[in-house]
Each structure stands twice: as C-alpha cells, then as structure tokens.
C-alpha cells in the first residue's frame, strides 16, 4: 500500500512542477514572453485559469498523499527509512572486574553493610494545661 501511494505522490510532484513551469508569471518576470505565446489555441485568461485550477487540484491531492504516507509510516513503525537500523542508545561497556559503577553503588548497599534505619521522629510534647 505504501509503495502505491508513494508512486502516486511522486507522479503528482513531477506533474505539479511541470504545470508551474508552464504557467506565465503574474509579474511578467524580466519582460520575456510578454507577447502571450498561446496563438489561436485559447485566450490567455482561459488557459491561465485552467492551469491554475489544475495545479490547485493536484496540490490538494499532493497534500492528501503526504498525509496518507505519514499515517502509514506511523502505523508501520517507520522502519523503512535510511536510518531505520540506527539506534540512539549508547553502547553498554562491561565494567572492569572488581569495580562498580556509581549507579550500582547507589542502588544497592554492599552485602556486608546493613541498610540505614529511618530516623526517629520525636513526638510533640503534651501540654498539661
């Protein structure tokens, strides 16, 4: 399914690029092509409207396929990219014999030491009034 949507997405992208390049710029650019160039095919206004509408429809379809690809990637876990094998975890290094890491020292007391007792909380004095 993802491959089909991706092919449609790429076809839409190439088609949109072609349509945008076919359209005449509204500012006239550098003054090049101010004669129209359409000949007897259609009026300049009709052709511009058709190209604009077609570009707009294809742009909406492009956004739709973009969202579809994002949803498909989310449901599949996103494991199809170039960095899918990359793991951001730091490598685990074995400790040297006879040494403990600071986390192990803090987490568990040594075998021959007893855990410290909780401090006793004194009771408040009782008034005899």
Q: How far apart are CA 27 and CA 24, in angstroms?
A: 9
Examine residue 36 and state whether it is found in any structural domain, yes or no: no
User: Residue 49 CB: number of other CB atoms within 10 A?
Assistant: 12
Examine residue 68 and state whether it is found in any structural domain, yes or no: yes
- pLDDT value of position 40: 40
Examine residue 122 and state whether it is found in any structural domain, yes or no: no
Examine residue 72 and state whether it is found in any structural domain, yes or no: yes
Percentage of the chain beyond pLDDT 70 is 51
Examine residue 93 and state whether it is found in any structural domain, yes or no: no
Q: How far apart are CA 120 and CA 97, in angstroms?
A: 39
Listed range (7-21, 60-74, 75-89) with the worst mean pLDDT: 75-89
Examine residue 111 and state whether it is found in any structural domain, yes or no: no
Examine residue 58 and state whether it is found in any structural domain, yes or no: yes
Q: How far apart are CA 60 and CA 65, in angstroms?
A: 9
Examine residue 16 and state whether it is found in any structural domain, yes or no: yes
What would you measure as the largest C-alpha separation in the chain, in angstroms?
113
Give me the number of domains the chain comprises.
Answer: 1
Each residue's pLDDT tens digit, 73-88: 888 875 555 555 565 6
- Domain extent at residue 15: 2-25+44-76
Residue 124 above 60 pLDDT? yes
The answer to whether 74 and 67 are in contact (CB under 8 A) is no
């Amino acid at each position: 399914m993802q491959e089909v949507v991706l092919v449609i997405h790429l076809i839409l992208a190439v088609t949109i690029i072609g349509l945008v390049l076919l359209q005449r710029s509204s500012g006239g650019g550098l003054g090049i092509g101010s004669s129209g160039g359409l000949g007897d095919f259609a009026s300049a206004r009709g052709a511009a409207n058709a190209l604009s509408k077609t570009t707009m429809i294809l742009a909406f379809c492009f956004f739709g396929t973009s969202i579809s690809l994002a949803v498909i990637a989310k449901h599949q876990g996103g494991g199809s990219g170039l960095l899918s094998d990359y793991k951001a975890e730091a490598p685990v290094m074995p400790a040297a014999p006879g040494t403990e890491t600071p986390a192990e020292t803090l987490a568990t007391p040594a075998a021959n030491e007893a855990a410290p007792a909780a401090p006793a909380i004194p009771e408040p004095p009782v008034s005899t009034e």
